């Protein structure tokens, strides 16, 4: 991968005499100070614009067989600065700037434990990580992380509760002071009006970090454990933690536009990336969630050769690049039980060879599907063979799933899970396969290092609308300011049959999920579904509905025209849970997506992101004049206009509505 680096690195070693090392962001607005108290315990504090933002907060890890928290004396301090531009093969922005000041503080304690604490301060936030070396031990057992985030004052926050098993939880908007525990990214707005988000970057060989209020009333790192209570274990005495991150912005959309998480990850580890390509897809999927088809091969089996060909034809006829088929392989009859899926054995009525041949003939990519049910040992036993098989069939994408508990009391988000998910990414990379992971470990920006780790679920997605009370009107307006700060999400937007009119009374329909009360629906207007294709960024972007609901539908033209591979993105305006407007450029065309919560809303959007002097044909997919999400969700209109960068668009949205616009330069 081509990397343009224009970095100036200056390193100044300062000796231990300085007991309060300090570092500022390049613009000087963020200032971090490190202190070591008389007991050799370590603390950091952060000011923003000269005012305290994070009060002195504890740093350090605890281990059962080494002293990692106290007794430290500073031995060396190094300062540096980087200003570089780098590129990624795909992403919201293909070109990114990494501009930060760094500080690396090396310490040792009486037991000879060496700790290097690294800090990077950017204009849009900061990151820090632990690098421990414990001499003379053959293993290290980390039992706690002491990192605190003592945010000064109160504010409003948006987060899901902490869980080591799932992120498919409802978001809470609540005063920061009342958050007892939370998963990250946790976003908040301080009383002073600063927006911030706590998360982590480069989670590689460590459990996930959640936040829990400690006995002193401060939010503290809380790590997912192994079944024996140990949080992280290593052969040898070395432990390198992920980065703990604090993003800050004056406007809520500043958090979305921040590349901080990616900047804190390692450069691309792949020798080639030409096989990693963003694309749109449809699939044999929604029918199962709606209860009219099944994953297993009974009389309602969805993934039959004939149905697969129907979806391949639809994709080919509409210029959509990919198709997924769930329920193609043996083992679904054991889902919820032994979870013994076979990843190279298709059901008798699914002829993989013929499906792959037909897809190739029609120019469509097949996305394989590996539901593991959480049975990691079963998957790992087959991993290499399964991906070699995909490679031999020319399958370049696989969707994975972990719907079910992991054996032996392991948590999805513990170090065991983190290691497993990474092993899959690395194995898939060896066979040039890109991933869409459901029930994943949360995104921490590893796509920079492993671009084949393309997208993942990791929040309540569209599926919840099929068989539960569904996602709230704010949900899709909180996601961009929380979950999506971590990275792309396979939300699978684009359900057009909002009220399931085509399938509700289908004689095949059976309740299969306990949460299904028979009154499920999508809680948006149709135009908001279209806007979500732009707003909820995923390099693999799905049109979720049954293809028959798109056949002949004029509004599906938006998806036909859509490019999942974008070059540049900007969140223009928005507030968590209320509204948002995002624009993305792919080549010389732009797509705008805007949406609102239960309130009808009109946004004024200057089109100054368009190229000056160029005339664009704008196709506007808007809520109908009489639309509202509750009573008239499918009312929409398509309006065509000619615009330039000097124009301003008035984006009128119904209650629970949205708007999507394509801007194509007039030739």
Site residue total, Ca ion (CB under 5 A): 2
Nearest-approach distance from CB 478 to Ca ion, in angstroms: 17
Question: Which of the listed partners (Ca ion, ligand NOJ, none) does 125 bind, with a CB threshold of 5 to 8 Å by partner kind?
Answer: none
Contact between residue 227 and residue 541 where contact means Cβ atoms under 8 Å apart: no
Nearest-approach distance from CB 483 to Ca ion, in angstroms: 13
Q: Strand, coil or helix: what is 433?
A: coil
The Cβ-side half-sphere exposure at 410, using a 13 Å CA radius, reads: 20
Question: Interface with ligand NOJ by CB under 6 A: which residues?
Answer: 285, 326, 371, 401, 403, 438, 457, 463
Contact between residue 495 and residue 544 where contact means Cβ atoms under 8 Å apart: yes
Instruction: Pick the piece of the chain touching Ca ion (CB under 5 A) from 342-350, 455-463, 525-533, 649-657.
Output: 455-463
Nearest-approach distance from CB 315 to Ca ion, in angstroms: 23
Between strands 434-437 and 453-456, the pairing is parallel
Q: What is the largest CA-CA distance in the chain?
A: 79
Nearer CB in complex with ligand NOJ: 89/327: 327
Place of tokens 């057009």: 496
Cis peptide before 185, with omega less than 30 degrees from 0? Answer: yes
Question: Which of the listed partners (Ca ion, ligand NOJ, none) does 326 bind, with a CB threshold of 5 to 8 Å by partner kind?
Answer: ligand NOJ
Identify the DSSP state of 123.
T
Identify the DSSP state of 260.
H
How far apart CA 500 and CA 459 sit, in angstroms, is 23
Nearest-approach distance from CB 392 to ligand NOJ, in angstroms: 23
Instruction: Pick the piece of the chain touching Ca ion (CB under 5 A) from 103-111, 437-445, 467-475, 553-561.
Output: 437-445
How far apart CA 238 and CA 232 sit, in angstroms, is 11
Question: Which of the listed partners (ligand NOJ, Ca ion, none) does 233 bind, with a CB threshold of 5 to 8 Å by partner kind?
Answer: none
562, 567, 544: which is closest to 621 by C-alpha? 562
362, 423, 434: which is closest to 395 by C-alpha? 434
How far apart CA 255 and CA 247 sit, in angstroms, is 7
Nearest-approach distance from CB 401 to ligand NOJ, in angstroms: 4
Query: Residue 383: left (phi > 0), alpha (psi -120 to 50), or beta?
Result: alpha
Catalytic residue among 208, 463, 474, 476: 463
Nearer CB in complex with ligand NOJ: 218/403: 403
Between strands 540-542 and 279-284, the pairing is parallel
How far apart CA 431 and CA 657 sit, in angstroms, is 42
Nearest-approach distance from CB 383 to ligand NOJ, in angstroms: 17
Nearer CB in complex with ligand NOJ: 403/619: 403
Question: Which of the listed partners (ligand NOJ, Ca ion, none) does 443 bind, with a CB threshold of 5 to 8 Å by partner kind?
Answer: none
Question: Which of the listed partners (ligand NOJ, Ca ion, none) does 371 bind, with a CB threshold of 5 to 8 Å by partner kind?
Answer: ligand NOJ
463 is catalytic: yes
SS (H, E, C) 589-636: EEEEEEEECCCCEEEEEECCCCCCCCCEEEEEEEECCCCECCCECCCE
Instruction: Pick the piece of the chain touching Ca ion (CB under 5 A) from 17-25, 98-106, 372-380, 451-459.
Output: 451-459
Which residues between 489 and 508 bind Ca ion (CB under 5 A)? none
How far apart CA 230 and CA 28 sit, in angstroms, is 40
Instruction: Pick the piece of the chain touching Ca ion (CB under 5 A) from 216-224, 241-249, 430-438, 492-500.
Output: 430-438
Nearest-approach distance from CB 324 to ligand NOJ, in angstroms: 9
Closest chain position to Ca ion (CB): 438
Nearer CB in complex with ligand NOJ: 102/372: 372
Nearer CB in complex with ligand NOJ: 117/542: 542
Question: Which of the listed partners (ligand NOJ, Ca ion, none) does 584 bind, with a CB threshold of 5 to 8 Å by partner kind?
Answer: none
Nearer CB in complex with Ca ion: 461/574: 461
The Cβ-side half-sphere exposure at 262, using a 13 Å CA radius, reads: 27
Instruction: Pick the piece of the chain touching Ca ion (CB under 5 A) from 297-305, 457-465, 526-534, 632-640.
Output: 457-465
Nearest-approach distance from CB 534 to ligand NOJ, in angstroms: 21
Nearer CB in complex with ligand NOJ: 341/537: 341
Beta bridge partners of 211: 182, 221
Nearer CB in complex with ligand NOJ: 371/443: 371
Residues recognised as catalytic? 463
Catalog residues that contact Ca ion under the rule CB under 5 A: 438, 457
């Amino acid at each position: 991968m081509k990397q343009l680096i224009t970095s100036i690195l200056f390193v100044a070693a300062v000796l231990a005499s300085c007991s309060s090392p300090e570092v500022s962001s390049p613009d000087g607005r963020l200032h971090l100070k490190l202190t070591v108290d008389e007991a050799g315990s370590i603390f950091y504090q952060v000011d923003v614009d000269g005012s305290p933002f994070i009060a002195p907060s504890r740093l350090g890890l605890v281990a059962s067989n080494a002293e990692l928290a106290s007794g430290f004396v500073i031995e060396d301090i190094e300062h540096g600065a980087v200003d570089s531009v780098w590129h990624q093969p795909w992403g919201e922005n293909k070109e990114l700037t990494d501009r930060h000041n760094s500080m690396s503080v090396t310490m040792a304690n009486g037991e000879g434990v060496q700790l290097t604490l690294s800090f990077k301060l950017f204009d849009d936030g900061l990151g820090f990580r632990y690098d421990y070396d414990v001499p003379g031990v053959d293993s290290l057992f980390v039992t706690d992380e002491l990192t605190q985030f003592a945010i000064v004052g109160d504010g409003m926050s948006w987060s899901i509760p902490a869980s080591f098993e799932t992120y498919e939880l409802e978001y809470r908007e609540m005063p920061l002071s009342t958050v007892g525990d939370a998963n990250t990214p946790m976003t908040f707005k301080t009383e002073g009006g600063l927006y911030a988000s706590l998360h982590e970057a480069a989670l590689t060989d460590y459990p996930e970090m959640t936040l829990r209020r400690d006995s002193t009333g401060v939010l503290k790192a809380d790590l997912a454990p192994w079944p024996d209570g140990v949080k992280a274990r290593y052969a040898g005495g070395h432990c390198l933690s992920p980065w703990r991150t604090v993003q800050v912005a004056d406007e809520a959309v500043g958090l979305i536009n921040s590349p901080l998480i990616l900047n804190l990850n390692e450069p691309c580890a792949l020798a080639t990336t030409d096989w990693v390509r963003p694309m749109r897809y449809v699939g044999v999927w929604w029918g199962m969630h709606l209860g009219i088809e099944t994953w297993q091969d009974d009389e309602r089996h969805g993934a039959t050769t004939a149905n697969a060909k129907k979806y391949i034809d639809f994709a080919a006829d509409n210029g959509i690049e990919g198709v997924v088929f769930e329920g193609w392989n043996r083992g679904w009859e054991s889902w919820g039980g032994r979870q013994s899926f076979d990843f190279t054995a298709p059901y008798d009525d699914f002829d993989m060879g013929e499906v792959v041949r037909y897809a190739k003939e029609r120019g469509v990519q097949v996305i394989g599907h590996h539901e593991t049910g959480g049975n990691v040992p079963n998957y790992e036993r087959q991993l290499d063979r399964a991906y070699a098989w995909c490679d031999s069939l020319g399958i370049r994408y696989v969707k994975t799933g972990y719907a079910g508990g992991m054996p032996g009391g392991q948590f999805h988000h513990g170090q065991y899970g983190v290691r497993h998910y990474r092993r899959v990414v690395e194995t898939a990379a060896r066979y040039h396969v890109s991933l869409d992971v459901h029930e994943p470990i949360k995104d921490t920006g590893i796509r920079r290092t492993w671009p084949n780790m393309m997208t993942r679920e990791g929040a309540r997605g569209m599926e919840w609308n099929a068989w539960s009370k569904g996602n709230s009107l704010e949900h899709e307006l909180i996601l961009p300011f929380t979950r999506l700060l971590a990275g792309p999400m396979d939300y699978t937007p684009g359900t057009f049959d909002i009220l399931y009119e085509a399938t509700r009374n289908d004689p095949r329909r059976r309740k299969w999920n306990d949460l299904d009360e028979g009154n499920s629906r999508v809680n948006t207007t149709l135009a908001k579904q279209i806007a979500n294709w732009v707003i909820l960024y995923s390099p693999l972007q799905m049109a979720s509905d049954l293809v028959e609901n798109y056949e002949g539908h004029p509004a599906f033209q938006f998806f036909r025209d859509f490019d999942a591979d974008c070059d540049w993105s900007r969140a223009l305006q928005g507030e968590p849970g209320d509204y948002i407007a995002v624009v993305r450029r792919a080549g010389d065309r732009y797509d705008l997506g805007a949406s609102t919560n239960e309130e009808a809303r009109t946004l004024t959007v200057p089109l100054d992101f368009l190229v000056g002097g160029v005339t664009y044909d704008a196709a506007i997919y808007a809520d109908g004049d009489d639309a509202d999400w509750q009573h008239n969700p499918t009312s929409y209109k398509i309006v065509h206009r000619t615009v330039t960068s000097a124009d301003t668009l008035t984006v009128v949205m119904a209650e629970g509505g949205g708007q999507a616009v394509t801007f194509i330069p007039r030739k």
